[in-house]
Amino acid sequence: MSSRMFQSIILQMKEATERVVGVLDSSGAVVACTDLGLMGERRESAPPKIMSTDGGVTRHEGYVYKPLAGSGAQFDFAAFVGGADEVAESVCRVAVVALNSAKAFYEEKHDKTTFIKNVLMDNILPEDVFSQARELHLESERRRVVILVHQTGNGEPAVTDVVQNMFPDKNRDFVININMQDVALVKEVEQDADPASLTKLAASVCDTINSELLIKAVAGIGSIVGYVKDLANSFKEAQVALDVGRVFDTEKPVVHYENLGIGRLIYQMPTTLCEMFLAEVFKQGSIDQLDEETLITIEKFFENNLNVSETARKLEFAGRENNFPLIQSETPGFLKALADLLSTYKIPDVVYTAAVSENDGIFLREKLTVIKNACKKFEIKTAKYALTELKQKSWPKDISDNLDEIHGFLLHSAIKKAMEAADGVIASFANS
């Protein structure tokens, strides 16, 4: 806390009262006073007396003392007024009100925790970070990491207090309430800190929250950074770790950004690309086309061969941990076992030959007729639109292949071939 801020308030009070008014810190030193001759004076017997009144007014050696508002049991500053009468007490109470307001404003602007939160949320320009850190006497070049703790249920405010009690050193570690469910721990770490030790630390935080508040919590860990300006990157990485963990590591209470494996790759893929892949592989209604016998065959495929299932599990774990030697050693054996099973449990070729309903057949013939007539008139746009309507539905494999063939003809302006292909599908339906 800056003594200049207190001094400016005290000097304004000098015009309102003839009494000596000042501010004492927790060590007993006078840091602000209307009598400049008392500045720097040490009153070592005053702090114990002030503490004994539990925030009340104290009369001691010709002065009235009252502590300013603080965050803990130990007071940080106290106002004092010369005299031991009721006037001195009244002036002291008024001074405390004014000084508390100024102190709260100053702390909000210059508090280290608020500063770190603004860095995490990108509320400070990068070029201003170092200058503000220097004003707050905060070391800029220290190894720090962000651990983001997320409550899986309803938000409980007491989680912040639990984490704060685990890391009481406010000059090295900062506990920041992000929202109702998320609490960020900015932890200063040693040179030998690694993902394993950080994971163990985050797990202890989750366990403590669970044991004290009966709340399930998970944690995401970002990368270790060497500069305070890079904490925003570590915070974003911790968020990504939590998001990926919800999908790929649901059983893990702690997920480290550096151990996401293939989950990181999938998470960072564009949404449109993922949707295209899913639409290509899992066509609409394709699961419904599998008959009961085929579904039972797929289920027994893995149930009856524990070797394949166990190897697949090992390969999945190795992919998450980036264990390339294990992947190289296990993959050939896995492929061989898989090939043996495929030869034993051969899936029938009639999987995609489901019958087309009467309504779907009518719809198919109508749209194919539209395509045929549009091709005759060289109205390519109309033909493509009708084909798009057809491809939005699920069809047996032979029909789907025919539609893909027509699409290829239209794409390359092979109008005659597209018309003949559409006519062929219509004719095959007429004969069925």
pLDDT tens profile 233-252: 999 999 999 988 887 777 78
Mean pLDDT of 186-215: 91
pLDDT band with cut points at 50, 70 and 90 for residue 108: low
Tell me the longest C-alpha to C-alpha distance in the chain: 114
Q: To which residue do tokens 């307001």 refer?
A: 101
Q: What pLDDT is stored for residue 358 in this prediction?
A: 81
Every domain of the chain and the residues it spans? 3-110, 113-263, 292-349, 358-431
Say what the pTM is: 0.49
Number of C-beta neighbours around residue 314 at 10 A: 16
Cβ atoms 229, 144 nearer than 8 A = no
Tell me the C-alpha distance between 28 and 44, whole Å: 5
Cβ atoms 107, 38 nearer than 8 A = no
Tell me the C-alpha distance between 37 and 35, whole Å: 5
Which carries the bigger pLDDT value, residue 315 or residue 71?
A: 315
First CA to last CA distance, the chain: 89
Q: Among the CATH numbers 3.30.450.20, 3.50.50.60, 3.40.50.920, 2.40.10.170, which is that of 3-110?
A: 3.30.450.20
Whether 71 shows a pLDDT value over 60: the answer reads no
DSSP string, 44-105: TTHHHHHHHTTTS-EEETTEEEEEPP-SSSS-SEEEEEE-SSHHHHHHHHHHHHHHHHHHHH
Select from 397, 385, 398, 391 the least CA-distant residue to 364. Answer: 391
Tell me the C-alpha distance between 204 and 131, whole Å: 35
Strands 254-256 and 217-221: parallel
Q: What pLDDT is stored for residue 74 in this prediction?
A: 67
Tell me the C-alpha distance between 59 and 417, whole Å: 105
pLDDT tens profile 216-227: 999 999 999 999
Whether 333 shows a pLDDT value over 90: the answer reads no
Fold match flag (3-110 vs 113-263): no
Q: What pLDDT is stored for residue 347 in this prediction?
A: 46
Backbone phi and psi for residue 154, each to the nearest 5 degrees, phi listed first: -70, 145
Q: What pLDDT is stored for residue 298 in this prediction?
A: 60
What CATH number does the domain located at 113-263 have? 3.30.70.270
